[in-house]
Amino acid sequence: MTDRQLFRETFSQLHASEDTLTEVMKMAREQDSRKKIRRPARTGALIALAAVLLMGSALAAVSYHLRTEPFGDLGVAVSVAAEGDMPGAVAFSDEVENVTFRGLEMTAGWLPEGMENCPGETIKWDWPEDGWRGGFSLSSMPLDTGNATFCDVVGDAESQESLTIGGHEAFYVKMAGDMGFNQRMYISYPEYNAVLTMYIGANVDRDTAVKFAENLNVSVGDWEMDAENLEYNGKRYLDMANFIATGVYVNTADEEDGPVQTREEMEALWAERDPANRAVKTEMTDAHEIGESFPVTFLDFDPMNDSSIDPQNFFKDLTVKVTDISVRDDYSALRDTQYLDMDWASRVDENGKLPKADYEFVVYGDGVNTPSTTVVATLPDQQLYMVAVTVEITNDGDRTVKSAGYNGRLLSIAETADGWAVTEPEPEDPSVEYDEDYCTGGGRLDDMRYWDLRWDGSNGGNEIVDLAPDESVTIQMGFVVSECQLGNLWFYMNDADIEGPDEIHVGYVPVPAN
């Protein structure tokens, strides 16, 4: 039996419940029935208000209030203050598993003209012509987890106001910058132990958002938050509260990111991961010329197809020879344009030439004391080019390589006063200091936009299926770059890890400067 077969046999044992179809038909009938007696949208809000009043008396010992306070120069902290006895105040370790925290069922009682539910979404709405990238998106979180109350921080706050939505305390904030969702509204529902967060797209104005919120139908859903997520949320609220109090974010909520992460530690971690901050070398000892063979490592195992590979030999040496690199402002160097990225295939003019792009240099801030992004320099009208690299890969080992993922990459490396280092293109004004850059019209050093050796059959992809000892394959890979990047570009190959090489050691071939 092959391992693929094992996989298929395993998953084929999973079946939906036998009553699925019956339940669906029942739900359909119930919805039809509800449609016939649909109440005016405003009624939902009135019912919610009535519920607030009723629950207010039932929970007389405690009072929850949405609280906002400035955070830094540009941010705002949103939290829930509990006054009095906290009804859900139980320690995570003992009673929390017996406490039920239910999510909110949310339906729109009013929608702006033309707006509709995003495909496949129940709590997200937008105008179809806007590509489902804006509109409204809702989420509900526990107001009080037992150990901590709701807490969040919004950066780049441009304007803000406290509101009352259907009798509920609410807070609206608009953020600066060109984010897709540049507004938020928090609405507290103490009677349901929940805070509703409404993410509002840049294509919606404030008054429309308020009207949408006022007409939302909110009730308790059948979703429960399990103890693990409840505990996670509680820790996150506490982490955020601590952040608000001290300005230092200590991450205890997310075990994957490590138990403690101050801002400095997080910045150091990112700096470590950033290729621009590593691999300064005195010599480009791993540089190679076109036509020269050099070894590379590939992730060459596939547990689904080959069970015989020793786990100690995950990585296998192969030899790469770059046989050609061409730089053109069209796709004429590509061997077969059917393999070109669909998006890029259409981005040429009537003469088949690639367009120009404006290259922007951006300083990143924290959104609290400094704006999240500031454009500090531009390189306008940068011509885009297709860099086409043809490589020959040979198996020098004594065993067939199976399912070898390949990834070609381009990196900007230049000789500096300290040695060879990964660089970014120079801005127009060399005195401007910048942290990062991006290209508004494409062209940022990115993934392959073209590769023409693909896994045959239904599973296409950048993999060499089989490569026997002494056998070779030829692959052409293509990358879109801006003209300002030419001159210092180097081609290299690594395994399927797209985060870049650990060091400059996998063999680099300079890209001709056109």
Half-sphere exposure of 307 (CA within 13 A, CB side): 8
Distance CA 487, CA 513 (A): 5
Residue of the chain from 200, 448, 453, 464 that contacts another protein (CB under 8 A): 448
- Quote the longest CA-to-CA distance of the chain: 82
Query: Please, which of residues 105-164 interact with another protein by CB under 8 A?
Result: 118-124, 139-141
> Does 75 sit near another protein (CB under 8 A)?
no
> Does 498 sit near another protein (CB under 8 A)?
yes
**What is the x/- site pattern for another protein, positions 386-405, by CB under 8 A?**
-------------------x
Question: Closest CB to another protein among 382 and 407?
Answer: 407
Sign of the alpha-carbon torsion through 259, 265, 269, 270 = positive
Distance CA 106, CA 118 (A): 14
Question: Closest CB to another protein among 28 and 268?
Answer: 28
Amino acid of residue 123: I
Written as one string, the DSSP assignment of 216-260 is: EEEEEEEEE--HHHHHHHHHHHHHHHHHHHHS-----S-STT-S-
Residue of the chain from 17, 33, 338, 431 that contacts another protein (CB under 8 A): 17
Buried b (16+ CB within 10 A) or exposed e, 296-306: bbbbbbbeeeb
> Does 460 sit near another protein (CB under 8 A)?
yes
Q: How many residues bind another protein (CB under 8 A)?
A: 63
Question: Closest CB to another protein among 291 and 460?
Answer: 460
Sign of the alpha-carbon torsion through 59, 60, 61, 67 = positive
> Does 228 sit near another protein (CB under 8 A)?
yes
Residue of the chain from 40, 303, 419, 512 that contacts another protein (CB under 8 A): 303
> Does 299 sit near another protein (CB under 8 A)?
yes
Residue of the chain from 203, 233, 485, 494 that contacts another protein (CB under 8 A): 233
Q: Are 125 and 118 in contact (CB under 8 A)?
A: yes
Residue of the chain from 396, 497, 502, 503 that contacts another protein (CB under 8 A): 497
Question: Closest CB to another protein among 1 and 245?
Answer: 1
> Does 24 sit near another protein (CB under 8 A)?
yes
> Does 229 sit near another protein (CB under 8 A)?
yes
Q: Are 227 and 92 in contact (CB under 8 A)?
A: yes
Residue of the chain from 13, 93, 100, 282 that contacts another protein (CB under 8 A): 13
Q: How many residues does the chain have?
A: 514
Amino acid of residue 82: A
Q: Are 165 and 361 in contact (CB under 8 A)?
A: no
Residues of the shown chain interacting with another protein in the complex, contacts defined by CB under 8 A: 3-4, 6-11, 13-17, 20-21, 23-24, 27-28, 31, 102-103, 118-124, 139-141, 221, 223-226, 228-229, 232-233, 299, 301-304, 307, 311, 314, 405, 407, 447-448, 458-462, 495-499
